[in-house]
Structure 1
Amino acid sequence: MTDAPGSEGAAPSDLPNSRRQAGGVRRAQSASDASSGPPSAMRNARSEFETQVAHARAEFEEANERIKQRTGRDLIVAIAIGLAIGAVVIVSLIFFKWIFLVFAIAATSLGVFEFVRALRASGRRVDLVPQLLAGVVLMLSGYFVELWLHWVLTLVVVVVLIVWRLLAQMLARDGRAYGAVMSDVLITSLVVLYVPFLGSLATILLSQDGGEWWALAFIIVTVAADTGAYATGLTIGRHPMAPRISPKKTWEGFGGALLAALIAGVLLAIYMLGLPWWTGLIIGAAILGTATIGDLGESMIKRDLGIKDMSSWLPGHGGVLDRLDSILPSATAALALYYLLTPLAVS
């Protein structure tokens, strides 16, 4: 029996509907792919960015570790602390002199504390409390009293400290050798003259008309020289400058410090101090000279005491006195330059 006409044609008649359904599925899938495309691309981009950041961070940490092994300093921490201290110094000098005075007294007092502690650990006898009181007196007198009276107070303070040490030794009655006692007396004088007296020269400068700008200028030159020496010595330093005192200092580093100090001096002379450009060369060279002497001087003291840093209070820097070593003697040059060059200022 034959099938009825059209019984096999039912499937062909459904083909258009099937094609329409398949086309709808493809369009829906295409729409789904289109809608999911951008988020997928964003995820890929974010993943690639995170990979690049992680790679860059790993390279930076590796470089920082190499620098730390070579210099003994944590570069990241050192930069962060340096920027924080710099911000305090700049804001206080520009807006509130008395804040800088308080900051300077605190810094020199901490420097005295570190120095005395290191000396005591090496067997010297230095009286801490009298040294701290003497330091505060000198720092305040530098700012508030006349220059001649400040010199008189400095002499009085030194004499008082020496007498105090001798009386303390007499009361101790421990049979300390004469040479050791005389060494204690000389070191007592060294501490007060090295830290608070040199620091008081900065407060004398601060008390002058426009002295805050000079104080800021010599600190900037000192920091610029230190940074130039560090960067140049780290990258191309080959020839030791004073291997028996500070083996890591190189002549290449000194050249970088000289260039940085001269550039900073010229820019500050023109734009901050209102002086002829050539005076900036004098400022830069003078500050660099005293800063280098101060740095090497403190290195020699630490080598004699058998220590690397005065303390570890400033991670990445060492102690407070390790940061003041080049600034303290530079205050002497800055004060002298103020008196010599201020008459040349453009009114």
Structure 2
Amino acid sequence: MRPLHSDQPGDERARRSEAEPSPPPSLDTPHPQSDLPDSPQLGNEEPKQPVKKVKAGRNLPAAIITGVVLGAVILGSLLIQPIVFLGVAGVAVAVGTWELATAMRKAGKNVPVVPLAVGAVIVLALTWFGGGNALMLSIGLVVAALFIWRLGEGATGYHIDLPASVLVAVYVPFLGGFAMLIASAEDGAWRVIAMLLMVVLSDTGGYVAGVFFGKHPMAPRISPKKSWEGLFGSVAASSLGGALALWLLFEVDVWMGLAVGVSIALAGTLGDLTESLIKRDLGIKDMSNLIPGHGGLMDRLDSILMAAPVAFIWFWYLLGLAGDLCLFESIDSSDLVTQRWEPGTCGGL
């Protein structure tokens, strides 16, 4: 009689096959009752569509709208009442000073933000009412105050913090003070308009020429997008616009107007490169995101600040159109409470 259970190898293999679970179905074998497509195998995925890169650059529509609004505010302040322009310029210089000082602090430089912003407004106000003497005196006092302020912070970082603070004071309120010297003349509103027109034309001409024709980088280590073709566009637009504006407004010789426009374009370009170098050193793209399409206010003021002293030199020394510089002349204290002087007095109003 045969036993119910056998120890033969075949029976043992049968018992093991019943006890072990069946392996999972292969990914290569479709389910017999499924109409779904086969699962993709690893390494055989369809290539992904390349992600479209967004071209970096200025938000042109926002930049145009913002530029028109800012231009209307400046033009309105100049034409309504010159003293209103002092308020607009004071706010602009204070904000620009705040942006630059804040960027310095974020980069590890101990720069006093609020004292510099307040000092910038004081410099512009004293320059408006006191002329060139007041500009030199006020900026000197601001720099001296920075020396005194830094004494209480100890020796650590002194050689970094103090030069950075002085740079902010000289770059923004001091250069901005030359715009006040131009505006304080009897027909200063039109002089400022002429200067701003040349700066705007320089920026616009450089942008258009650079976009359509720019092939040869001008300063790749500072501003890679600037090209020699863009510089030529800046010079051409500023010189032509300057010649026309100065001839219509002040009957300046056309050739002299062309020279003024060329110098304003070069100064504005140097101002733009200077700010680009500062931003590259600080590791930032824009001074702030305050103005849509432009970045920070300093990103708009950089060209104007460098062009203002050049325009003042042309108006005062060469063209005889600016008011008295009033350097090293006595200032009547009673004039400080008035808004206007007679032509030829300190301030040239």
Counterpart of 1:106?
91
Match of 2:58 among 73, 77, 86: 73
Whether the aligned pair in 2 keeps the contact of 1:237 and 1:250 (CA below 8 Å) is yes
Residue identity (%): 41
1:89 is aligned, of 45, 62, 74, to 74
Task: Please name the residue that 1:133 is paired with.
Answer: 118
Output one character per residue of 1:59-115: Cα deviation in whole Å (capped at 9) or x when no partner.
xxxxxxx9x944521110100000111111112212211221111111111111111
Task: Establish whether residue 230 from structure 1 lines up as the match of residue 215 from structure 2.
Answer: no
For 2:269, the aligned partner's letter is: T
Q: 1:126·1:165 contact (CA, 8 Å) conserved in 2?
A: no
After superposition, residues 213-228 of structure 1 pair within 5 angstroms as 213-228=190-205
TM-score (normalizing by structure 1): 0.75
Verify: 1:297 aligned to 2:282, yes or no. no
Q: 1:195 aligns with which of 167, 172, 192?
A: 172
Counterpart contact for 2:101–2:113, Cα < 8 Å: yes
| Equivalent runs, 1:300-339 vs 2, <5 Å | 300-339=277-316
Structure 1 partner of 2:184 = 207
TM (norm. structure 2) is 0.75
Residue 241 of structure 2 is matched in structure 1 by 264
Q: Distance in 1 between matches of 2:272 and 2:131?
A: 30
> What is the SS of the residue equivalent to 1:241?
strand
Structure 1 counterpart SS, 2:224: strand
Q: Distance in 2 between matches of 1:313 and 1:146?
A: 31
Q: Is the CA contact (8 Å cut-off) linking 1:275 and 1:344 kept in structure 2?
A: no
**Alpha-carbon shift at residue 341 of structure 1 (Å):** 3.6
- 1:116 correspondence with 2:104: no
Provide the rounded CA distance (Å) in 2 between the counterparts of 1:109 and 1:210: 25
Report the more deviating stretch, 151-160 or 136-145.
151-160
Task: Report the number of matched residues.
Answer: 271
Higher helix share: 1
Q: In structure 1, what is the equivalent of residue 250 of structure 2?
A: 273
Q: What amino acid does structure 2 have at the position aligned with 1:102?
A: G
Secondary structure in 2 matching 1:257: helix
Secondary structure of residue in 2 paired with 1:212: helix
Q: 2: CA distance between counterparts of 1:319 and 1:340? A: 33
Q: Is the 8 A contact 1:232 1:252 kept in 2?
A: yes
- Structure 2: give runs of 5+ residues left out of the alignment: 1-51, 323-349
For the structure 1 residues 238 and 182, does the alpha-carbon distance in structure 2 shift closer, same or farther, using more than 3 Å as the test?
same
Q: Show the counterpart of 1:153.
A: 138
Over the aligned positions, Cα root-mean-square deviation in angstroms equals 1.7
What amino acid maps onto 2:140 in structure 1?
L
Secondary structure at the aligned position of 2:320 is classed as: helix
